[in-house]
Amino acid sequence: MIRPAILLALGSACFAASVPTFSGEVYPILRAKCQGCHQKGEIAPMAFIDYAGTRPWAKAIREAVLKGTMPPWHADPKASAHFHNDRSLTQAEVRAITAWVDAGAPEGSPKSYPAPEKASGGWTLGKPDLVFKIPNMKVPASGDIPYTFVAFPTELKQDTWVYAAEWKIDQRSVVHHVNAFTRPPGSSYVAGYPALQFFVPTLTQRRVGRPNEGAFERRELLVGYEPGYRAIPWGPTQGKLIKAGSDIVVEAHYNASGKETIDASEIGIYFAKEPPKERVVTLSVQNLGFVIPPGDANYKSDASVTFDAPVKVVSVQPHMHLRGKAMRLRAVLPDGKAEPLIDVPRYDFNWQTTYFLKQPLTVPAGGKIECFAWFDNSPNNKFNPDPKRPVSWGDQSYEEMHIGFTEVAFDAKIDADKILAVEKKVAAR
Ligand code: HEC
């Protein structure tokens, strides 16, 4: 007769062969899909870089990957393009993680685990050619912090092509998001404030423009940072253009963290070796004119741009505020055929993800990009600050925006202000 204890041992020995272990199957998944945020100095509160630090979170990890809340990724794969920076888990990865937790989260044979792919704190793209540093922004412990601006003269003597730009964030606990724009000489965009000093312009001051000023003569988005950000170069044949004598203007959105914090985040710029074939610009496919009625649980807003020149769509980033519910972007080709870009069925204001297309989508002249947004202004939206108020466009989180930021590449010889057939004045980000 075999005693039960031996049976048990035999049973678990047979079983062990098919059970995923931390050192076997699970660690490589964490390294590829989680450590970008779950390592020291990044935005997630705990590090998943070894067994001891991960084991206590096993149950929470199982729940998060089954519910799909982690990794944060909001594009519906069935109705979106394929993305280069897709961090969602495959079915097989979800199965491996859940089977591991269900089996008691064993380590397997312990080993020294390879360090996270990109240790934080440095430039992920290497040493930049030019660096601009925020001059020690003092973020108070509590209270609302207005959008804060600072301008840096680039002192570039000639038009300069850049193949990449990267944000190196100093204090992730207080930086909600930051955008760096280029401002060519003569631009009306927040002109007249002294360089290298913080300023807080009113919305009216920020909207000042000159009649007939081209959108890209005024300003152009260089690079933005948002939670989950990863620097991605535009590529060997593509780049952004910084005109001689331009300034870099930073718009920073800080959040108080409970502790006074000094932030000195930096922007690094990488010069192209030679002028690229294609220029990249960021467009805003937006509707400025909506009014969401009080209590409306499913208000829809439409926006579109039509192209006068052929472009390739490089990336998309849905942007709404707290009443944002869902967003969809698609390209409509001149023959009427629609190509999906992205479908975000459950929008989350906390995650301003930029989605980079694996295969840039070509849109010929005469084609367009459409952007549909849905808002929930009902009391059932738990983020809704006030369901009794009609809501229109504005900067603050309690106001709304409807923007599909869209990066497009086009023949570098074409004037950026000539690529759009309509809405030239409002389309630059
Ligand atoms: C883009 C950044 C990012 C990535 C990638 C990411 N996380 Fe997170 N994770 C966070 C942040 C920030 C928090 C804390 C705030 C929150 O809960 O949203 C968090 C919280 C968690 C929590 C605790 C909260 C909960 O949901 O119970 C778990 C568990 C978790 N993550 C698991 C994972 C796993 C497993 C992966 C990879 C498969 C992963 N995360 C990838 C940013 C990320």
Q: What percent of the chain has pLDDT over 90?
A: 78
Q: Which residue, judged by its Cα, is nearest atom 7 of ligand 1? A: 71
So what's the pLDDT on residue 424?
Answer: 43
Burial, 162: exposed, middle or buried (Cβ in 10 Å; 0-12, 13-18, 19+)? buried
Distance 44 CA to ligand 1 centre (A): 6
- Residue 34 in contact with residue 89, Cβ under 8 Å? no
Residues in contact with ligand 1 (CB, 6 Å cut-off)? 33-34, 36-38, 43-45, 57, 60-61, 64-65, 69-72, 87, 89, 228
- Residue 379 in contact with residue 387, Cβ under 8 Å? yes
Q: Which residue, judged by its Cα, is nearest atom 29 of ligand 1? A: 61
Which pair of structure tokens corresponds to residue 117? 């792919």
- Residue 279 in contact with residue 365, Cβ under 8 Å? no
Name the CATH topology of 277-429.
Answer: Jelly Rolls (2.60.120)
Q: Which residue, judged by its Cα, is nearest atom 1 of ligand 1? A: 228
Q: Is the pLDDT of residue 11 over 90?
A: no
Q: Which residue, judged by its Cα, is nearest atom 36 of ligand 1? A: 34
| Closest ligand 1 atom number to CA of residue 65 | 35
- Residue 248 in contact with residue 128, Cβ under 8 Å? no
Out of 25, 29, 37, 74, give the residue to mutate to test ligand 1, the one with the largest number of ligand atoms within 8 Å of its CB. Answer: 37
Q: What is the mean pLDDT of residues 23-37?
A: 94
Q: Which residue, judged by its Cα, is nearest atom 12 of ligand 1? A: 44
Distance 375 CA to ligand 1 centre (A): 26
CA distance 371 to 286: 7
So what's the pLDDT on residue 43?
Answer: 79
Q: Name the average pLDDT for the chain.
A: 91
Q: Which residue, judged by its Cα, is nearest atom 10 of ligand 1? A: 44
So what's the pLDDT on residue 422?
Answer: 62
Question: Which amino acid makes up residue 331?
Answer: A
Burial, 43: exposed, middle or buried (Cβ in 10 Å; 0-12, 13-18, 19+)? middle
So what's the pLDDT on residue 108?
Answer: 95
Question: Which amino acid makes up residue 133?
Answer: K
CA distance 344 to 349: 12
Q: Which residue has the higher pLDDT, 255 or 250?
A: 250
Q: Is the pLDDT of residue 69 over 70?
A: yes
Q: What is the mean pLDDT of residues 324-334?
A: 98
CA distance 49 to 81: 31
Q: Which residue, judged by its Cα, is nearest atom 13 of ligand 1? A: 44
Which pair of structure tokens corresponds to residue 321? 């505020």
| Closest ligand 1 atom number to CA of residue 61 | 29
Distance 113 CA to ligand 1 centre (A): 20
So what's the pLDDT on residue 337?
Answer: 97
Q: What is the DSSP letter of 25?
A: I
CA distance 340 to 81: 6
Q: Which residue, judged by its Cα, is nearest atom 20 of ligand 1? A: 44
| Closest ligand 1 atom number to CA of residue 97 | 35
Q: What is the H or E stretch that residue 139 is in?
A: strand 137-139
Query: Pairing between strand 278-286 and 238-242?
Result: parallel
CA distance 316 to 389: 30
- Residue 375 in contact with residue 325, Cβ under 8 Å? yes
pLDDT band at 398 (very low <50, low <70, confident <90, very high): confident
Out of 48, 59, 70, give the residue to mutate to test ligand 1, the one with the largest number of ligand atoms within 8 Å of its CB. Answer: 70
Q: How many residues does the chain have?
A: 429
β-partners of residue 266 are 133, 168
So what's the pLDDT on residue 273?
Answer: 92
Q: Which residue, judged by its Cα, is nearest atom 43 of ligand 1? A: 37
pLDDT band at 163 (very low <50, low <70, confident <90, very high): very high
SS3 7: helix
| Closest ligand 1 atom number to CA of residue 93 | 38
So what's the pLDDT on residue 162?
Answer: 97
Q: Return the C-alpha torsion angle 425, 216, 131, 352, nearest 10.
A: 40
CA distance 366 to 240: 24
So what's the pLDDT on residue 17?
Answer: 52
CA 394 to chain centre: 20
Out of 31, 38, 257, give the residue to mutate to test ligand 1, the one with the largest number of ligand atoms within 8 Å of its CB. Answer: 38
SS3 235: coil
Q: Is the pLDDT of residue 423 over 70?
A: no
Distance 85 CA to ligand 1 centre (A): 17
| Closest ligand 1 atom number to CA of residue 351 | 1
Burial, 174: exposed, middle or buried (Cβ in 10 Å; 0-12, 13-18, 19+)? buried
Q: Which residue, judged by its Cα, is nearest atom 23 of ligand 1? A: 60
Q: Is the pLDDT of residue 101 over 80?
A: yes
Which pair of structure tokens corresponds to residue 412? 């570098």
Interval 195-235: pLDDT, tens: 999 999 988 898 899 988 999 999 999 999 987 788 889 87
Q: What is the H or E stretch that residue 149 is in?
A: strand 148-153
Interval 336-382: pLDDT, tens: 999 999 999 999 988 888 999 999 999 999 999 999 999 999 999 99
- Residue 321 in contact with residue 399, Cβ under 8 Å? yes
CA distance 395 to 251: 12
Q: What is the mean pLDDT of residues 149-157?
A: 97
| Closest ligand 1 atom number to CA of residue 64 | 26
So what's the pLDDT on residue 298?
Answer: 98
pLDDT band at 80 (very low <50, low <70, confident <90, very high): very high
What is the number of alpha carbons within 13 Å of residue 426 lying toward its C-beta?
Answer: 13
The residues of the chain that CATH labels 2.60.120.230 are: 121-276, 277-429
Q: Using alpha carbons only, what angle is made at residue 9 by residues 98 and 58, rounded to the nearest 5 degrees? A: 20
Q: What is the mean pLDDT of residues 163-188?
A: 93
Name the phi and psi angles at 31, rounded to 5. -65, -40
CA distance 354 to 204: 28
Q: Which residue, judged by its Cα, is nearest atom 28 of ligand 1? A: 61
- Residue 237 in contact with residue 280, Cβ under 8 Å? no
So what's the pLDDT on residue 4?
Answer: 45
CA 240 to chain centre: 18
So what's the pLDDT on residue 203?
Answer: 81
pLDDT band at 2 (very low <50, low <70, confident <90, very high): very low
Distance 73 CA to ligand 1 centre (A): 11
Name the CATH topology of 121-276.
Answer: Jelly Rolls (2.60.120)
SS3 63: helix
Interval 15-27: pLDDT, tens: 445 899 999 999 9
